[in-house]
Amino acid sequence: MWWGGFLICGLLLILMSIPFFMFPKTLKKEKEKMRIEEKTKDFQKGHRRTKSQTSTCSRHSTLSSKRVYGKDVRDIPMSMLKLLVNPIYVMTCLGACMELMIVSGFVVFLPKYLETQFFLSNVQASIFTGNVLFTYNSALIVKFTWCI
């Protein structure tokens, strides 16, 4: 019955996904905002404009065209550039990578070290390592969350 763990993990994942199904299909405030924007666009198209109104409306149309950012695949390079220029994002990713490098080395070699140095059984060494690793990761998650 080696597959029992997979069944248990699968059932737990399904149970944890139930709250996500309770989110609404559409957001009412966002839908209302889009409806108001469409009304203003229709109103601007329907009436005549003077020269000063044309410049104001052209600025408004460029602002509204920027609001549709992320609706096309061509926006991916620009979004990647924005992420790479964002110092908070870059430092968070670097911190997570450094933590992962340290923790992966720690997890791989610590149980064997504990077995040979302190004459623990492999079960005791693995349990100790798991407890230490869980505590360490929890503290780092809290620390990074507080920093951000």
pLDDT at 67 over 70: no
Q: 75: which DSSP letter?
A: G
**If pLDDT is split at 50, 70 and 90, which confidence band does 51 have?**
low
Q: What is the pLDDT of residue 142?
A: 86
- Indicate if the pLDDT at residue 27 is higher than 90: no
What pLDDT does 56 receive?
Answer: 52
How far is Cα 10 from Cα 4, in angstroms, rounded to an integer? 10
Evaluate whether 70 touches 64 at the Cβ level (below 8 Å): no
**Res. 60: pLDDT tops 70:** no
**What tens digit of pLDDT does each residue of 6-19 get?**
899 889 999 999 98
User: Is residue 127 predicted with pLDDT exceeding 70?
Assistant: yes
Q: Where are the alpha helices (DSSP H) in 1-148?
A: 4-17, 28-46, 51-66, 76-85, 87-118, 122-147
Decide: 128 and 120 in contact? Cβ < 8 Å.
Answer: yes
Other CB atoms within 10 A of residue 125 CB: 20
What integer pLDDT is reported at residue 65 of this predicted model? 52
